[in-house]
Structure 1
């Protein structure tokens, strides 16, 4: 508990996994909403736009979360190097 209050350990890397799944759910719901939001019902344009929203949203969420993890891994490695000196 002390390491959390002194910022010796990071809390955010533990939260990134949960945030990733939340972003995936948002991308899927957004894509489904786009697929079935046409005024005349299901059309090919809105269906493919919703599919693209789901795919690109999922890929974007993965890339963003991986970049966040990389930043924290760099921090961990720098801490290890600092402690060796």
Structure 2
């Protein structure tokens, strides 16, 4: 995290969640592969209908990490939009000069 200071932390100006989302992705991908392996093992040991379980296990191993990745990317998009809006707000605040209230009185 660049430019971390306590003021940004206390005022929620800098988001910590995007870094946590990357960890969530790896946990989710690992769990997806683990669940796929469990499904394959259960299917291999089943007397009836094991082929479908093996197929679903393979599908879970292949597609599961992609689904987790897409979900995490969608979450990160919201945080990137927030950071961009904060940057726009800061730039606009630097460009705008305070308005003289005497000129605006009618």
Task: Say yes or no: TM over 0.5.
Answer: yes
1:30 is displaced (CA, Å) by 0.5
| Structure 2 counterparts to residues 36-75 of structure 1, below 5 A | 36-38=41-43, 39-40=46-47, 43-75=50-82
Indicate the RMSD between aligned Cα atoms, in angstroms.
Answer: 1.6
Q: Which runs of 4+ in 1 moved over 3 A?
A: none
Which structure has the larger Rg over C-alpha atoms? 2
- Name the residue aligned to 1:15: 20
Q: Which runs of 5+ in 2 are unaligned?
A: 1-5, 93-106
Q: Which runs of 5+ in 1 are unaligned?
A: none
1:10-59 CA-partner distances (Å, limit 9, x unpaired): 0101101100000001100100011111323xx43222110111222111
1:69 is displaced (CA, Å) by 1.0
CA–CA separation in structure 2 for the residues paired with 1:34 and 1:58? 16
Flag the structure with more relative contact order, 1 or 2, with Cα contacts below 8 A and sequence separation at least 6. 1
1:3 is displaced (CA, Å) by 1.7
